């Protein structure tokens, strides 16, 4: 609830600032002053990863709410993502929101953007490098905190021999998440690399692992759609393993309700996109520094069978 209140407060602040001056009188020039603002949102999304649809939706909703343009693009290739950043700077955008699954691969382009006077906000991945690269702030979840809290939940559920499914090769955030979960679990957890661009292959890889080691009693995935793949793999393998996942979709909500997924860890991707654009907007119209130079946490929040009804409605809208 604290995180949701933060998002609401920032939204309310932006709305009020756009409508009123310090004297309480209507500010007639606000729309003219902000109407030409353009923000580039550049993520490391791979084709078909539904998580990023929510980030995009949040960013575009913020653009609609504030009357500014949002130019969304993505690539899971660090070289291509760097080029997208360079292109945005060349287009003279007013700010950049960027996710950093591979911080070292993006460092040069981000630092060049900052040097050119383009404010940058990082989201989702790369929190540890955000400030060093010159970003205003980072919006997302601490992978270590999220992984640790997840591992504690899995320990309470009695997991002894688990898989942690990594669907993006080289994603430092995913690796940190699995590491922290394994340490908190205090039992065996093996990383399993899969091709996140091919759901059928993801399911087949998990199924093969379950069939080769029948002692596996848990599968942790790092995105909702792969949680659904894991449910299918468990069923086809005839395994008794439980499934838990990061991130939620409408299908994940249904799986939590019917018990085929134990819980989901929600880092609220819609919030990451929305607050990324909001941070740049407030910087432009009022000189605000959201977060005061510190990361803003969008998660983790745990969705279980006990509270799943509270978010089901929003999941159907594609915003949770």
Q: Which pLDDT tens digit goes with each residue over 275-315?
A: 999 999 999 999 999 998 899 999 999 999 999 998 888 88
Is the pLDDT assigned to residue 22 strictly greater than 50? no
What's the pLDDT score for residue 175? 93
Region 251-263 average pLDDT: 96
CA distance 191 to 172: 13
Q: Domain 143-266: state its class.
A: alpha beta
Instruction: CATH 3.40.50.2300 in the chain: give the residue spans.
Output: 37-141+268-297, 143-266
Strand partners, 318: none
pTM summary value: 0.77
Per DSSP (E only), the strands in the chain are 38-43, 69-74, 95-99, 120-123, 138-140, 161-166, 188-193, 218-221, 242-246, 264-266, 296-297, 301-303
Tell me which H or E stretch contains 160: none
pLDDT, mean over the chain = 89
What's the pLDDT score for residue 303? 96
Region 178-189 average pLDDT: 98
Reported as a single tens digit per residue, the pLDDT across 35-87 is: 699 999 999 998 878 889 999 999 999 999 999 999 999 999 999 999 999 99
Structure tokens at 108: 């040069």
Structure tokens at 266: 């929600």
CA distance 226 to 235: 14
What CATH architecture does domain 37-141+268-297 belong to? 3-Layer(aba) Sandwich (3.40)
Residue 320: pLDDT band with limits 50, 70, 90: confident
- The neighbour count for residue 16, using CB atoms within 10 Å, is 9
List of residues 6+ apart from 301 with CB closer than 8 A: 3, 265, 266, 267, 268
């Amino acid at each position: 609830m604290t995180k949701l209140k933060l998002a609401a407060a920032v939204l309310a602040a932006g709305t009020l600032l756009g409508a009123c001056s310090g004297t309480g009188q209507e500010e007639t020039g606000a729309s003219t002053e902000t109407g030409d603002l353009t923000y580039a949102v550049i993520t490391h999304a791979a084709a078909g990863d539904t998580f990023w649809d929510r980030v995009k939706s949040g960013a575009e909703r913020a653009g609609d709410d504030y009357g500014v343009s949002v130019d969304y693009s993505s690539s899971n290739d660090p070289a291509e993502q760097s080029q997208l950043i360079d292109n945005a700077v060349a287009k003279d955008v007013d700010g950049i929101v960027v996710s950093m699954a591979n911080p070292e691969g993006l460092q040069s382009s981000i630092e060049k953007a900052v040097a050119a006077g383009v404010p940058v906000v990082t989201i989702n991945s790369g929190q540890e490098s955000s400030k060093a690269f010159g970003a205003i702030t980072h919006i997302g979840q601490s992978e270590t905190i999220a992984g640790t809290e997840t591992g504690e939940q899995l320990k309470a559920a009695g997991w002894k021999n688990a898989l942690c499914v990594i669907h993006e090769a080289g994603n430092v955030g995913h690796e940190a998440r699995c590491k922290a979960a394994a340490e908190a679990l205090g039992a065996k957890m093996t990383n399993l690399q899969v091709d996140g661009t091919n759901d059928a292959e993801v399911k087949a890889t998990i199924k093969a692992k379950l069939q080769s080691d029948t002692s596996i009693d848990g599968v942790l995935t790092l995105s909702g759609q792969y949680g659904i793949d894991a449910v299918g793999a468990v069923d086809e393998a005839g395994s008794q393993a439980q499934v838990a996942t990061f991130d939620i979709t409408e299908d994940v909500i249904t799986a939590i309700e019917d018990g085929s997924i134990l819980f989901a860890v929600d880092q609220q991707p819609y919030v990451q996109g929305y607050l990324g654009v909001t941070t740049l907007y407030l910087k432009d119209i009022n000189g605000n520094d959201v977060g005061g130079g510190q990361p803003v946490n969008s998660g983790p929040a745990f969705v279980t069978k006990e509270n799943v009804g509270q978010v089901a409605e929003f999941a159907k809208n594609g915003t949770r």
